[in-house]
A and B are shown apart, each in its own frame.
Chain A
Amino acid sequence: MVNIAQRMTRLNELLRLRVGGGAAILPPEVTRLHMDFVMTYDDGHKGPRNFWRNDLRRLKYYNPAIPMTVSRTENPDDPALMTIHFTSPSAAASTPPPVSSTTSPNTSTAPVTPSSSPALAERTEVFNIKSRKRYEILEQLIALTKAKQIEPTEKELNEIRELGEKREQSAKDSTLSQKVNARKKQEKRRMAIARGELTATS
């Protein structure tokens, strides 16, 4: 396996899962989030993809019980939509979160489509996410759901700062060692030419 220090440094990226846009707790009325967009990047589908890769992960981390699904299509002309399923506050308090399991007949293994949304959704909100930036989508989602945003703690802010410092230092180190290596290489080449193993043109 990979060196432990390398692996642990890499795990620092988990911090990104806790801090940033999308770190918010959705109210219990929200029963499901669903995104539709196109697989290809261009034509306004980049924002939704970025949202999925960054903010939706954080949302899922803070709301592990809420199903969040993404369906991506091949046809570039398809719309990009975000669907939020709501239920009434009274029903939300009583209904348990859905349980998927291989032993129970209701498995999660079939890909979920918007039409197979749970019956307890009383109303749905749909809005367009095509040609929109990641943060715009997040803003609208938070405004619609009235989600409570989580501010990073002092400790987490410190960790972020440390990570940034490390990154800067490593960039400096890397340029320095690049220079040293280039010089070494040139020296070696010069010696080889002097010894007659290489000609100056080759």
Chain B
Amino acid sequence: MATARPCLVQLSRTCLHLTRSTPTAFPIRLFSTSTTNAARGKYVPPIVSKKEKVVVPTVNKYIKKTVVKKKKARTAYIQYDLSKEETFPLLDAMRIIRAWEVGQKPTSVKYELALKLKSQKNGPVIRNRLRLPHPVKTDFRVCVICPPDSKYAEAARAAGAVLVGEDDVFDAVKAGKIEFDRCLCQTDSLAKMNKSGIGRVLGPRGMMPSSKLGTVVVDPVKTMRDMVGATEYRERVGVIRMAIGQLGFTPEEMSNNLKAFIEAVKKDMSRISDKISKELVEVVLSSTNGPGLPLNGSFKGANTSVTPKELSGP
């Protein structure tokens, strides 16, 4: 530091000398805005300093200033007043839906059920799988990826898998020939499958086996048996929707399915938690192309003129 001091002194001297050479004061007119403002013209708002810019807000005395409160986010789904709702007995609803779906392919048309719940937006949701007394879709074509000469392959073929093997499956899938709806993988072939690159084809279709989905298993045959006929349901936006029957089902079969499904959902609701109470509000029967008809829980109403037998035809 001692060496630095003389240098600083020297520097300050030179600087001082320099400042003295310039004029000590600028004329005040240079800083004035009036000349520049005059140059800008009459109709342009003049440039004002920041201090002056703070203007008193013009208060309209006719408009009352209301304090805008931030709307509180709703935590539960909206519930409507159902007192004016028209409801139908099962037979009437089926008659209307069958009339609406006349001439459609009976294989592709399904009855659908929507269960509206009283539930929280941020709470847990109901999610489960169920085997209906009369399964809606039974003809799943299953593909099993496992070593072709293992005992699993034989068992899978016997259980009705349409495609069994390793390399044959990979080749078929890569060629775009996907003639199955579900794909299972045996744990021994997992590494080979991951290497084969069929995920690019099966992945977007949601058919790629993964242990997360429970489709990579030790015993594929057992899973096949569980899978057939079971359907998954899940609460979305406060409503559970599921296909509940084929169009060709008789009213008795439909009623069995409905009862089984609603009971299962009620059981799930009671199981979920003590703190959160869910409530079944509305049951609506619909179909692939048909209207949605709220059910009133009875099989036959006072004005029902059809018999179950009449609704049992193809």
Contact = CB atoms under 8 A, between A and B. Distances in A.
Interface of A: 1, 3-5, 7-8, 10-11, 13-14, 17, 35, 52, 56-61, 64-70, 96-103, 107-112
B314 A52 contact: no
B312 A99 contact: yes
Contact of A57 (B102, B134, B135, B238): B102
Given A17-B99, A61-B99, A100 B248 contact: yes
Contact of A1 (B100, B247, B253, B284): B284
A4 B249 contact: no
A103 to B, nearest CB: 7
A31 B130 CA distance: 38
Given A1-B239, A100-B106, 11 more contacts: A1-B238, A1-B282, A52-B102, A64-B311, A65-B311, A70-B104, A97-B312, A101-B253, A103-B134, A108-B314, A112-B314
B313 A100 contact: yes
B96 interface: yes
Contacts of B124: none
Contacts of A107: 248
| Smallest CB-CB A-B distances: 4 pairs | A70-B103, A108-B314, A108-B248, A61-B99
Interface residues of B, number: 41
B309 A99 contact: yes
Contact of A98 (B103, B284, B291, B314): B314
Interface of B: 80-82, 84-86, 95-96, 98-100, 102-107, 114, 116, 134-135, 238-239, 246-250, 253, 282, 284, 291-293, 306, 309-314
Contacts, number: 110
Contacts of A103: 134, 253
Contacts of B135: 102
23 contacts: A1-B114, A8-B85, A14-B291, A17-B96, A17-B100, A60-B98, A60-B99, A61-B95, A61-B99, A64-B99, A64-B313, A65-B310, A67-B313, A97-B312, A99-B312, A100-B313, A102-B249, A107-B248, A108-B247, A108-B248, A109-B107, A109-B246, A111-B106
A60 B116 CA distance: 30
Contact of B82 (A4, A17, A67): A4
B36 to A, nearest CB: 21
Nearest to B95: A64
Greatest chain A CB density within 10 A among B82, B116, B253, B309 is at B309
B102 A56 contact: yes
Contacts of B84: 4, 8
Contact of A99 (B98, B102, B107, B250): B250
B100 A57 contact: yes
B312 A4 contact: no
Given A1-B239, A64-B98, A13 B314 contact: no
Nearest to A118: B314
A5 B102 CA distance: 27
A4 B313 contact: no
B40 to A, nearest CB: 16
B306 A64 contact: yes
A4 B80 CA distance: 6
A108 B106 contact: yes
A197 B247 CA distance: 60
